[in-house]
Structures are given as C-alpha cells and as structure tokens.
Chains A and B, each alone.
Chain A
Amino acid sequence: MTNHWVDIKNADLVIIMGGNAAEAHVCGFKWVVEAKEKRGAKLVVVDPRFNRSAAVSDYYAPIRSGTDIAFLGGVINFLVTNDKIHHDYVKNYTDSTFLVHEGFSFEDGIFSGYNAEKRSYDKSTWNYQLGADGYVLTDPTMESPNCVFQQMKKHYSRYTPDVVSNITGTPKDRFLHICEMIAATAAANKTMTILYALGWTQHSVGSQNIRTMAMIQLLLGNMGMAGGGINALRGHSNVQGITDMCLLTTNLPGYMTLPNEKEQDFTAYLAKRSPKPLRPNQMSYWQNYPKFHVSLMKAWYGKAATKENNFCFDWLPKFDKGYDVLHMFERMHNGQMNGFIAQGFNPLAAVPNTKKVADALAQLKFLVVIDPLATDTSEFWRPAGEFNEVDPAKVQTTVFRLPAACFAEEEGSYTNSGRVLQWHWKSADPIGESKSDGDIVASLFVKLRELYAKDGGAFPEPILNLNWAYKHADEPSPEELAKEFNGKALVDLVDPKDPTKVLVKAGEQVPSFAFLRDDGSTSCGNWLYSGSWTQAGNMMARRDTSDPSGLGQTLNWGFAWPVNRRILYNRASADLAGKPWDKSRTVIAWDGQKWGGNDVPDFKGNEPPENGMGPFIMNPEGVARLFALGRMAEGPFSEHYEPFESPLEVNPMHPNNPLARTNPAARVFKGDMEQFGTAKDFPYVATTYRLAEHYHFWTKNVPLNAIVQPEQFVEIGEELAKEKGIVAGDKVVVRSNRGKIKAVAVVTKRIRGLDVAGKKVHTIGIPLHWGFVGVAKPGYLTNKLTPYVGDANVQTPEFKAFLVNIEKA
C-alpha cells in the first residue's frame, strides 16, 4: 500500500476491483465501513461476481475476468475526454509535459521494438527525448503530439464506452456511472482509494492492471493524499515483509537488484542504479544506492567485505534469468533439479497445473518441507483416491518434513500491507520437536558451512565468510536479526561538515538510512527497515495509539518503512507552494522554513517549494510516470490483451493481429502452450479465489473453519445452470484441458452471463482450499485446472482467467 489500512477511512470513494476485501481481508475491511459511516464515502465494486464486498457496496458492475485494462483504459479515456483531471497535479507532478522519443510507436497492439521470436521488446525507443545537457525535453503547453499527455490521450482514445462494454461485458450504463463517480475525485479536495489484491496480480497482464489504475490516480491527483493511493492488500500477515526482504530471485533486500551476468564491473553496476537527475534540482534518491548496497554487503560479509575486493561483489550471483516459481517447476519438470526446500509453501496446491507440479516433484532426489502443518506437498506421493492419483512406486523422492513453529510460538516482526512493522511476542513454546523457521534455516546453514570447511567445494568463499556473529549460531534471535536489518556504525561516524562531531558511535545502531555510507563504515541488512531498531530501542514494539490529526496516522505505533512514513509520496498532497490540496486532511505542508505536519515528509525537509524539486523523489525526473519508460515488459502504456485461455478467438482491439491476441511479452514454456484449451471445448471462463471462512490451504487442518464452509463447491449463474440442467446442490464436474475437479454446484443470481463481442460469456467461480490432507472433507486441488503461464513482468500465474467446461456429475 502507498497508504495504510487506517487511512482507508479518509477516502471519499473506495473502489474494490481486482480484489474482494470483505472476503479476503475481513478485518481490514472495517476501515471501509468506517469511511462509509464517518465520511459518507461511497463503495464501488467491480468484479465478475457480486461478492461479499459487493453485498455492502453502493454500486456494483460486473466485468469479464481478465479485461480490467479495457475497463481502466476506458476510465482514462473518460477522464481525459471529459476534462476530469487534476490539472495542476498532472502538469507539475507527472511526466505529462515530457517529450517521448521520436522512434516510439504503437501499431495494431504492438509497441516499437518487438521481437516475435523472443517474445520480448528492444525498449530503446521507450524513452524521453533528452537535450544536450542530459535533461529531458518538455512541452509545458502539453500540445505537442509527442508529449506524454498527448501520447497517452491518443493511446487510450480507442477505449470508448462501447469498446469497453464490448470487451468487458460491463453494461455501458454501469461503466459510465462508475466513471462519473471516479471523475468526481478529480477535485483537489476529493480522494479515491483503490483496494486490490490477487484479482489484479494473477493475470498474464497483472502488473499492467495495477499500473493502469496508478495512472488514473495520478490523473485525479490522488497519489500522496490521505484517503488516496494505490493499495495492494496482502494475503498473508507478513507477505509484505518477505517482499521487502527480497521475494524475487533477481532482487536484493530493500528492492535493490542483483547484477545480471553481463554486469561483472562493480562501478558500472552501482552507476547504473544511481541515476543522475533528468531535470534540474531533482533529488533522484536512488543516487544513494551505493550506500545501501555496500552497507548490505558489510552486514553479510563483515570484515571480509573491503573496498579492495569491491565489498565482495564477485561473490554475488549474476543471474541469467529470473528463477520464479514457474521457472523453478519447469526446470524440476525437465529433470534439471535435484532438491527442493519448500518453506512455508505448499506448491502442489499453490502452483498452477497440479499434474505438472506432481510430476516435477516426483523427479527430485529430495524434498524438504518446513511447515507447521502436514501439507499436501509433503504427501504428494501418497495416493488419496480420486483426490490424489499417484503411483508411489514411481516416486523416487525422499521427503523430509521439518516441523516449524507456528507464528504465536516465536517472537519477531510482521510487516503489514501498510508497510507497518509490528513486533509480536511469543505466547507459547513450540510443540514437540518443532523449531522456529529461523532456527531451522540457521541449523541447515551451520551444517553446510561445516561441510564446506571440511570438504571444500566449487566455490566455498561466500559460505565460509558469511558474517554469522550470533550468540548461538544455531539459533539467531529475532532481536539480533532485527538489529542487523536496522544497521549500525562500524566506526565512529563523524559529521562531514565538522569532523570533531561524532554522529553515531562505533557499534551503535544507526537512527535511519540517512546515516549509511558507501565506504564500508556502516552495515545494514535492509536499508528500508533502518530506523526500526535504533539506539533508542525497538521501534516496532511501540504501541501508542495517539492520533493528534485524527487521520489515523499514529506515528508512534510500530514503525512504517521508510523512516516511519505512513503515506508515500506525501509531498504531492500539497500544491506547488506547499499548501495542502485539502486542509482538512493535511498530510504535510511547508511552513516557510521546513516541511512538517502529520507525517514524515517524503521530501527534502528544508527544500523550499519554489525551487521546483518534484514530489516523486525516487524517480530521476522528480515526477511520476504516466509513460513507464522501459520498466514494464509489455509497453510504456498498458494495452488490453486477452487471457491466454480466452473465450474469444481474437483480441477485439486487434482482430487482425494474432501476435496481439494475448500478452506478446509473456513467457510460455514449451509444452504449456499446447496445454491451453480453446473455447470450442471449454466454453466458460473460470476464476479461482478463496473464501472468508478459510485461510488459503491451511485451515483444512482446523475443524472450526471446516464447519462453517465444509465442502468443495463451484458457483454458477442461474442461466447457465438451467442450460446445463444443474440445480443447486448437484454434484458437477469441471474440466479444463489440464484436469478436472468434482464439486457441489452453488447456483446463484450473483454471477450472470455477460454480452461480450457478440456472444454470451458465462463465468464459473471456483473457490480454493480443499485438498487431500487435513481434517476438512477431502476435495480436489483447484490448481488441477489452472494454466501454466504468468504475468510478463513478475510471472505471477494466471489463476484468475482460464477456460473450463462443466457438466452434471
């Protein structure tokens, strides 16, 4: 979330799209209720199903799964055509006036630079025009056809209400009504918040779904505002934490990046990540990258990391490609992996195409499962009738189950969706032989290090020299780890302006990442978390609910990254002169000398507004990007592409260009393309989701959850049910080209056939949870049905839109 949970209450309009907050984020949904009651906010829900969020909404519109970009592109077109944008904001806080590279083009669904064979783009034209001084060229009148605003206007002008309705199936009147509600928040003192989750990410165009809404929020001037922002609701209590710590295989903690195989030179590696400002007097905060990176390497390698050896740069892996989960299982499936550690992860249930995953696991020599529960993955070899058809004689894998402690059996930090780190305390000892995840991994490491020391190995240095200065090598305490990620001074840090003044003494915790240095004099495990455990103690353990502004900022509750800032980009909540756009919801303001208010300024604290520094300090432009440059895999603007399994034979936006039917930059492995089904055999759109009564696959082990939602079911509309002779309570079989499941039919008014491109498209809703392990009634793993393809940028699988058929069992 750019904002945070409590801040939802400050919104005038709450949009839930690509998520179902009432279902999947039951507790946080209270802030939506609060916004409605206290501010009179309106709630709009756009979803293929009239879901639990819709049940308490003010307005609902259906949408065909996988067509969000068409809907949102239509919103952009509506806002621009009807001049419902926040002009001062768009002109000054975005790149709308910037001139785009003359070679940039977009023809029939494909941007300039496409290589069909490699399914990827040469992005050199996805750029701004630069002057001789290295600064970007602009047209403040925004009239040049080459400026970002005009390019954007032209790009989305194709998304007329009729085109949108034709693709999405959303009735035109409902689409336009929502456009008008959204447009009302273009007023400087009105805000809209958007709550999304996996309903946007789990598509082959997932990242672009989110980006399109980010553009809308910029056009409306809602970024940085209380009650605004782009708010990803995370599905597990600490999944934001794992993301911050380095979720993607090509990342380092704190969203730093690993070098790729071509980046063997340390100086060039750092320079590329420390961009010079693209306009005069911009902060371009990533210029501090070397300080964060070197401090990370000092945390990892201690004394072994020296200036002379480039702080062990050579020891970092240099990636050839991303080793995301789809890629991992593809390699496992091809027999290219020997072992696999599944920690807090149930891939047999959670990865698409269960058959492929099961076949892959059977080829491993060993599988280690670290989990508090017996998972389906740990028993993938066990036949369980129709629910797990496997021949154990054909499985050679040795499975080790290492029982892990449950969250309440250890202390540590949680980072919630709103980037707030909260310390939690242990309430019971781990049961039996179980240990905390940290202790298990530490013990494994210590053993491996012993083996490397004894037997050597191909490349022992990074293992043998890893800084492991914990009191108990097998059991690093959460406190030690937390202090490590905050960072400390390794020598006395003196004021550069006054060398007699010591800012931080050697060995002390640094107060924030502003004290980190690139000369090896500081260490820090994750610069974003710096400030969470300072010399003053554990900031994450603070529990002060004081809220002087009434906005719910509670700056002394826990610690929010970065530097306890609750609303990101909050400089943009004030106008050019530093006055809040909405005084009643002041986040920060300029008082003539400094920035201050109800949050930690996301800006240089004493920078006068008249000097023209932009509010988006992480970008070298100083402004936000409507034009994404080369940062996205499939284009600087978003475009509607059909899901890989679509009921339509062509993309209605580009009926004559098969290359642009589906995401042209998405990766598809050999063999998986052939496993995609077609509408001829599988005429219905399916979408998977979880239920409020359950927690992912875990609560199969909990009787209470099984009691309140006991049996596997699928949801279908009344019209389709009638066509198929299915009545509520019947057993049905749902098939995709990869597998089948059997379940009870819930027949409902809440899912209806939609009129799409001249045909009726029906949707089948498929909740997940069931499997063959646990106390709940056994059921089928839903991912027996889902396709093995992901988002082109981060490879999140397309669980939300695929094709199935249904019949009475």
Chain B
Amino acid sequence: MALQSLDIKQRSATTTPSPSERQTVEVAKLIDTTRCIGCKACQVACMEWNDIRDEIGSVDGTYNNPTDLTSASWTVMRFYEKENSSPFDLEWLIRKDGCMHCADPGCLKACPAPGAIVQYANGIVDFHQENCIGCGYCITGCPFNVPRISKKDSKAYKCTLCSDRVAVGMEPACVKTCPTGAIMFGSKEQMTEQAEHRIGELKGRGHGKAGLYDPAGVGGTHVMYVLKDADDPTQIGLPASPTISALVSVWKGFAKPLATLAMAGVALGSLFHYVTKGPNEVSKEIEDEIEKEDAQ
C-alpha cells in the first residue's frame, strides 16, 4: 500500500468543507474469525506499537483478558462457546473486538468537540485526544460499544487502525503480527474480494452460512469480519444490524440547537469546574446534561 494522505473527510462538530483534491484509497482490515486461534498476539502488538499498558487484571472465569476494552486495551479477544447438535459438536468462536471504523461513524456524529474525532479520506476514524472534552457522547453514538474514557485524563480512546503506520504505507500492528494470517489489510475493494474467496472456501468446506460482516446500517465498515455463520452474528457478539443510536439522530436533528445552547452553558460551567475540581467532574456534568437532553 502506497503512502496515504491524511486528508480529513469528516471532522466532529465542524462545518467547513473537507479537502477533496487528493485521491486516497479507502482501506480496510479483514478479520477472518475462522482462522483466528485467539492467541492474543494482536493485543500485545497493539499495546507495544501504541505504547499502552493495561493493568494486570484478574480472571473472570473465561479466557477473555483483559475482560473488556479499556482506554489502554484497544483490542481484546472475545471467546464464545457454542454447543451444536451433539455434546462434542462444539464451537469455540473467537472474535477480535475493537473499533469497526464505520463509513458512517456514530461516534463522530455524536461528538460535540470540534476536531476530537476525525475520519480520514482513507476511511480510518481517529480520536484526537487533544480536542476531546471527555463527554462520552462517542460511546452513546457507537453501535459497537467501543470507545472508552480514560480514568487518567478523561479522554476517549480506541483503536486508531494504526493511522500512523497506514499513513506511511505500513499495515496495522495487529495485522503484521497475526501468526495465522487471520487479520488482513489492504484496500476495501481488495479485502472484499479476499473475503469472497475465503467465504467460497468455507462454503466448500460445508459452512453454507459463511459470509461477510460489513453492515450497511453504518454505511459499511473499514474493519470487516469473515464469519462462519453470517446469518447470526450475535453468537460471536456482533450486533445483527447495527445503526447509529436514535439518540444521536435526535441530537443531530431538532435537538441540536437546544443542545448547543446547553453546551455553551456547560462549557462555561466546566471552565469553573475545571479550575476548581478537575476534568472528571466536567464529563459527569456533561453526561447529566445529555441525559436531560435525551429526556426531552
């Protein structure tokens, strides 16, 4: 993959037009869950490349560890046990969870902080923490429950699809490290073709329901899954037909002028709060505000 421009296609809470002269290829990561052995090398590569270290946690009675996405774990493996027709006809479904990089990103739509969330022309959705106000709207906006607010700095974090690596023509760290080639990377077009090839192979192996997860409800995603049973993605922890939360649509629609007004108030208030109490309180305030908004 050639060097990528980091032209911004969309920017949160911004109305100025985006640069559109340069031609940039849309990228995608394809995760073949049928080739994944759940080794967690991708989790380690992610922590190493991005210089993040989660806490040494505890075991909750499963192989999931860390047990959930956090501001320092941008990808985690999720294990699902399934029993089919007979007791030994088992499946251990394993999915690498993380940001889907939606073509129509709910997080970006929901974000009230200018430039805190951007979508590059190549499709990657990135959080710019320096602009983040820690309001957590991105969480409400995300149909996949991905962003997490840091306890240290009250900023939202998630997978960047290694936008820094991709910009210089490299694949994301998880892709590079995956020992079974279950994580692939390229143009969205190539990855869709690759997925078709894989699905054909799976169907030939008797998995008639094999298919691609690239949900239309969010305009398609730049992280796609090959699933053994695409008829029911919920069994591997994926929403069947994800859409952006109605709350965000409401927020973006008629409620926005009201909310902007409220936000201005909050921003003013938050300045005093920030001086006196620190950032955590601010986000809490804002959350309360949005709840009030939602109730309307």
Tell me whether A704 and B48 are in contact (CB under 8 A). Answer: yes
Q: Give the shortest distance, in Å, between B93 (CB) and chain A (any CB).
A: 8
Tell me whether B181 and A709 are in contact (CB under 8 A). Answer: no
In the complex, what residue of chain B is closest to A174 when comparing beta carbons? B88
Tell me whether A692 and B53 are in contact (CB under 8 A). Answer: no
A58 to B82, CA, bound (A): 15
Q: Does A561 contact B (CB under 8 A)?
A: no
A58 to B37, CA, bound (A): 14
Taking CB atoms, residues of chain B closer than 8 Å to A53 are 37
A30 to B73, CA, bound (A): 25
Tell me whether A54 and B90 are in contact (CB under 8 A). Answer: yes
Taking CB atoms, residues of chain A closer than 8 Å to B62 are 728, 746
**Residues 37-81 of chain A, each 1 if its beta carbon lies under 8 Å from chain B, else 0:** 100100000000010111110101110000000000000000000
Q: Does B131 contact A (CB under 8 A)?
A: no
Tell me whether B44 and A708 are in contact (CB under 8 A). Answer: yes
- Contact of A50 (CB < 8 Å), options: B36, B44, B53, B92: B92
| Interface window among A611-619, A634-642, A747-755 | A747-755
Tell me whether A713 and B59 are in contact (CB under 8 A). Answer: yes
Tell me whether B44 and A704 are in contact (CB under 8 A). Answer: yes
Tell me whether A37 and B37 are in contact (CB under 8 A). Answer: no
Interface size class on chain A is 35 or more
- Contact of A56 (CB < 8 Å), options: B36, B44, B204: B36
Q: Does B179 contact A (CB under 8 A)?
A: yes
Tell me whether A40 and B60 are in contact (CB under 8 A). Answer: no
Tell me whether B60 and A729 are in contact (CB under 8 A). Answer: yes
Q: Does A693 contact B (CB under 8 A)?
A: yes
With A26-B179, A40-B204, A728-B61 as given contacts, are A692 and B92 in contact (CB-CB < 8 Å)? no
Tell me whether A728 and B60 are in contact (CB under 8 A). Answer: yes
Tell me whether A749 and B34 are in contact (CB under 8 A). Answer: no
Give residues of chain A (5-33) contacting chain B, Cβ–Cβ below 8 Å: 22-23, 26-27, 29-30, 33
- Contact of A710 (CB < 8 Å), options: B37, B48, B58, B182: B58
Q: Does B19 contact A (CB under 8 A)?
A: no
In the complex, what residue of chain B is closest to A31 when comparing beta carbons? B180
**Residues 32-52 of chain B, each 1 if its beta carbon lies under 8 Å from chain A, else 0:** 001111111101100110000
Q: Does B54 contact A (CB under 8 A)?
A: yes
What number of residue pairs across chains A and B have CB atoms under 8 A from each other? 130
With A60-B88, A692-B38, A749-B90 as given contacts, are A727 and B47 in contact (CB-CB < 8 Å)? no
A750 to B38, CA, bound (A): 15
Tell me whether B60 and A707 are in contact (CB under 8 A). Answer: no
Tell me whether A746 and B180 are in contact (CB under 8 A). Answer: no
Tell me whether B56 and A26 are in contact (CB under 8 A). Answer: no
Q: Does B65 contact A (CB under 8 A)?
A: yes
In the complex, what residue of chain B is closest to A754 when comparing beta carbons? B88
Q: Does B152 contact A (CB under 8 A)?
A: no
Taking CB atoms, residues of chain A closer than 8 Å to B36 are 55-56
Tell me whether A29 and B37 are in contact (CB under 8 A). Answer: yes
Taking CB atoms, residues of chain A closer than 8 Å to B44 are 704-705, 708
Tell me whether A52 and B204 are in contact (CB under 8 A). Answer: no
- Contact of A703 (CB < 8 Å), options: B34, B35, B53, B83: B53
Tell me whether B87 and A752 are in contact (CB under 8 A). Answer: yes
**Residues 171-200 of chain B, each 1 if its beta carbon lies under 8 Å from chain A, else 0:** 000000001111000000000000000100
Q: Does A113 contact B (CB under 8 A)?
A: no
A29 to B62, CA, bound (A): 23
Q: Does B57 contact A (CB under 8 A)?
A: yes
A345 to B87, CA, bound (A): 41
Give residues of chain A (265-311) contacting chain B, Cβ–Cβ below 8 Å: none
Taking CB atoms, residues of chain B closer than 8 Å to A30 are 179-181
Tell me whether B201 and A37 are in contact (CB under 8 A). Answer: yes
Q: Give the shortest distance, in Å, between B77 (CB) and chain A (any CB).
A: 9
Q: Does B21 contact A (CB under 8 A)?
A: no
Tell me whether B61 and A745 are in contact (CB under 8 A). Answer: yes
In the complex, what residue of chain B is closest to A61 when comparing beta carbons? B88
Q: Does A235 contact B (CB under 8 A)?
A: no
With A56-B35, A713-B59 as given contacts, are A26 and B41 in contact (CB-CB < 8 Å)? yes
- Contact of B58 (CB < 8 Å), options: A62, A692, A744: A744
Q: Give the shortest distance, in Å, between A746 (CB) and chain B (any CB).
A: 5
Q: Give the shortest distance, in Å, between B147 (CB) and chain A (any CB).
A: 20
Q: Give the shortest distance, in Å, between B86 (CB) and chain A (any CB).
A: 8
Tell me whether B39 and A703 are in contact (CB under 8 A). Answer: no
Give residues of chain B (90-145) contacting chain A, Cβ–Cβ below 8 Å: 90-94
Tell me whether B39 and A52 are in contact (CB under 8 A). Answer: yes
Q: Does A706 contact B (CB under 8 A)?
A: yes
Q: Does A711 contact B (CB under 8 A)?
A: yes
Taking CB atoms, residues of chain B closer than 8 Å to A705 are 44
Q: Does B66 contact A (CB under 8 A)?
A: yes
With A55-B37, A55-B92 as given contacts, are A711 and B181 in contact (CB-CB < 8 Å)? no
Taking CB atoms, residues of chain B closer than 8 Å to A54 are 90, 92
A789 to B128, CA, bound (A): 59
Q: Does A171 contact B (CB under 8 A)?
A: yes
In the complex, what residue of chain B is closest to A34 when comparing beta carbons? B181
- Contact of B57 (CB < 8 Å), options: A37, A40, A60, A710: A710
Q: Does A776 contact B (CB under 8 A)?
A: yes
A40 to B201, CA, bound (A): 8
Extra inter-chain contacts (17) besides given A706-B56, A728-B60, CB under 8 Å = A30-B180, A33-B181, A33-B182, A37-B198, A54-B92, A55-B91, A56-B180, A62-B88, A703-B56, A704-B44, A708-B65, A710-B58, A713-B61, A749-B81, A750-B92, A752-B87, A777-B58
A-B contact pairs, 14 of them (CB 8 A): A23-B39, A26-B37, A26-B41, A29-B179, A55-B36, A55-B93, A56-B34, A171-B88, A692-B37, A707-B55, A708-B66, A712-B59, A729-B59, A750-B81
Contact surface of B with A, Cβ cutoff 8 Å:
34-41, 43-44, 47-48, 53-63, 65-66, 73, 81-83, 87-88, 90-94, 179-182, 198, 201, 204-205
